[in-house]
């Protein structure tokens, strides 16, 4: 596994249930501010249940991709309370749980 992939997975594993971050926020947090597409590519290949990649969305608030489909991603985020009944997204900022 590459260092970049390890850093992406390690950061994403810290996102609390019920919150989301953007691909860009992940890239910035691990020291690669322009690598948000690479973050998406890494997460698209994730099959581990210990890396909650469904909690990473696009900066504009759209869901972005998900290996099991957008419908499943939306359902998971709703079940966790990351998207409320009005469609509001619960963004996560480190230190603001």
Catalytic residue from among 15, 35, 53, 83: 53
Long-range contacts of 7-12, Cβ-Cβ distance < 8 Å, separation of 24 or more: 7/31, 8/39, 8/42, 8/43, 9/42, 9/46, 9/48, 9/51, 12/43, 12/51, 12/52, 12/53, 12/55, 12/56
CA 30 to chain centre: 13
Residue 81 appears among annotated catalytic residues: no
Residues annotated as catalytic are 53
């Amino acid at each position: 596994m590459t260092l970049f992939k390890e850093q992406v997975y390690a950061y994403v594993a810290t996102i609390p249930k019920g919150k989301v971050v953007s691909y860009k926020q992940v890239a910035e947090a691990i020291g690669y501010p322009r690598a948000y597409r690479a973050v998406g590519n890494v997460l698209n290949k994730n099959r581990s249940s210990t890396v909650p990649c469904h909690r990473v969305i696009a900066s504009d608030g759209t869901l972005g991709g998900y290996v099991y489909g957008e419908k499943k991603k939306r359902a998971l985020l709703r079940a966790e309370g990351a998207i409320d009944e009005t469609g509001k997204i619960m963004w996560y900022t480190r230190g603001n749980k």
